[in-house]
Chain A
Amino acid sequence: EVQLLEAGGGLVQPGGSLRLSCGASGFTFGTHAMSWVRQAPGKGLEWVSFISGSSSTTLYADSVKGRFTISRDNSKNTVYLQMNSLRAEDTAIYHCAATDYYFGKWGQGTLVAVSS
């Protein structure tokens, strides 16, 4: 069974940093692209970032470009999202998702709250 488990969320002040992680099991992690998708409270889904299986390609939404960095460690079956210069509008549940062009499997998400 495919499982994705996010961790690392929490309350952070504006301008602060957080590092999210997503551990994967139940599939061949290194051959799958992965993405982060977020959902602000009571709102819809917003794609944030993408990384290919080999890490050769990384992509970002304009809203986070230059502030967020996606990476992965295939030996640990884990994908990361380093978030710097956080803003109130980054407050959301952050889901990781296995990416086969569409998002085949999702984790439950981890809540990031940016507030002073």
Chain B
Amino acid sequence: DIQMTQSPSSLSASVGDRVTITCRASQGISNFLAWYQQKPGKAPKLLLYEASRLEAGVPSRFSGSGSGTDFALTISSLQPEDFATYYCHQYYNTPPWTFGQGTKVEIK
């Protein structure tokens, strides 16, 4: 199984900050990586797929990069509604589909 490791596990940031979350795969996954946002008590929401393609309706302050084993999700200017937990997810070698452990973005 492919293991996905996110860092950091949590971070504190202020509105307007640039935030970057990284995700590393235990083996190469090309660009078969998605990012999700989850708010407490809510369903996860797809933000990006194929590592850098923005899902329809997702604000352009979200961007993704990377290929192979190392990936990043960047929020260019953090907004109040962005405080949430973010998960990376590989779909290169399935089953199983595997997720990172999550990164909680909190208000500083």
Residues of chain A whose beta carbon lies under 8 Å from any beta carbon of chain B: 35, 37, 44-47, 50, 59-62, 95, 101-109
Whether, in the assembled complex, B71 has its beta carbon less than 8 Å from a beta carbon of chain A, the answer is: no
A46–B95 CB distance below 8 A: no
Closest 9 CB pairs of A and B: A106-B43, A102-B34, A47-B97, A45-B99, A59-B95, A101-B91, A44-B102, A102-B49, A44-B101
When C-beta atoms are compared, the residue in chain A nearest to B49 turns out to be: A102
- Contacts known (A61-B96, A101-B32); A45 close to B91, Cβ less than 8 A: no
B44–A106 CB distance below 8 A: yes
When C-beta atoms are compared, the residue in chain B nearest to A62 turns out to be: B96
When C-beta atoms are compared, the residue in chain A nearest to B44 turns out to be: A106
A45–B95 CB distance below 8 A: no
Whether, in the assembled complex, B24 has its beta carbon less than 8 Å from a beta carbon of chain A, the answer is: no
Q: Which of A60, A101, A104, A107 is packed against the most chain B CB atoms within 10 Å?
A: A101
Interface string of B73-108 (1 = CB under 8 A from A): 000000000000001010100111111111000000
Instruction: Tell me the B32-47 residues at the A interface (CB within 8 Å).
Output: 32, 34, 36, 42-46
